[in-house]
């Protein structure tokens, strides 16, 4: 264990020139549209550390199915490293290593959905937002 703060114990392992640290905390804030936010680190008792330590989190580092995000206040466990920009998460899970719960919020699309009716038993729905999806339904 390495302890930079007397109130928190951080696991670590050396990997070449970098040190990977592990901690726990809660989501301070997360912007679902931009796909990033910050985790506030907590002590082993679950209280915020003093002085506060915030860790950057990108949606690509979240362990969960589907749309990846964090809910404000959500409890998480994570590995992280120091970088030139500060502390950055490497892998973020829910408590006990399970998947993150995520936010109920989703980014708003730029375009509305519309249907094309081909007057047959099948119709196609297109969704033009961030990604284009197409599904065929039969009656």
Report the CATH number at residue 13: 2.40.50.140
Q: Residues 24, 77: contact at Cβ < 8 Å?
A: yes
Does a structural domain hold residue 102? no
- Structural domain harbouring 54: 2-97
Structural domain total, the chain:
2
User: Alpha-carbon distance 32 to 47, whole Å?
Assistant: 26
Same domain, 88 and 113: no
* CA dihedral for 41, 2, 51, 85, sign (positive or negative): negative
- In this prediction, residue 121 carries a pLDDT of 55
Neighbour-count burial for 64-79, b at 16+ CB within 10 Å, e otherwise:
beeebbbbeebbbbbb
Same domain, 26 and 79: yes
Which pLDDT value is given to residue 106? Answer: 83
Co-location of 86 and 127 in the same domain:
no
pTM over 0.75: no
State pLDDT tens for residues 82-115: 988 999 999 999 999 999 999 988 877 654 444 4
The answer to whether residues 115 and 92 belong to one domain is no
Structure confidence at residue 131 as a pLDDT band (50, 70, 90)? very low
The reported pLDDT for the residue numbered 139 is 47
User: Going edge to edge, which strands form the sheet with 132-138?
Assistant: 114-117, 122-128, 132-138
């Amino acid at each position: 264990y390495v302890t930079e703060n007397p109130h928190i114990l951080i696991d670590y392992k050396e990997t070449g020139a970098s040190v990977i640290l592990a901690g726990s905390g809660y989501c301070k804030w997360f912007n679902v549209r931009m796909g990033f936010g910050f985790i506030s680190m907590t002590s082993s008792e679950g209280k915020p550390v003093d002085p506060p330590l915030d860790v950057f989190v990108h949606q690509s580092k979240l362990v969960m199915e589907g749309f990846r995000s964090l809910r404000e206040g959500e409890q998480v466990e994570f590995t992280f490293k120091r970088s030139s920009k500060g502390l950055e998460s490497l892998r973020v899970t829910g408590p006990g290593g399970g998947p993150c719960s995520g936010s109920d919020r989703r980014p708003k699309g730029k375009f509305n959905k519309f249907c094309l009716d081909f007057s047959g038993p099948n119709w196609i729905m297109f969704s033009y937002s961030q990604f284009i999806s197409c599904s065929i339904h039969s009656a």
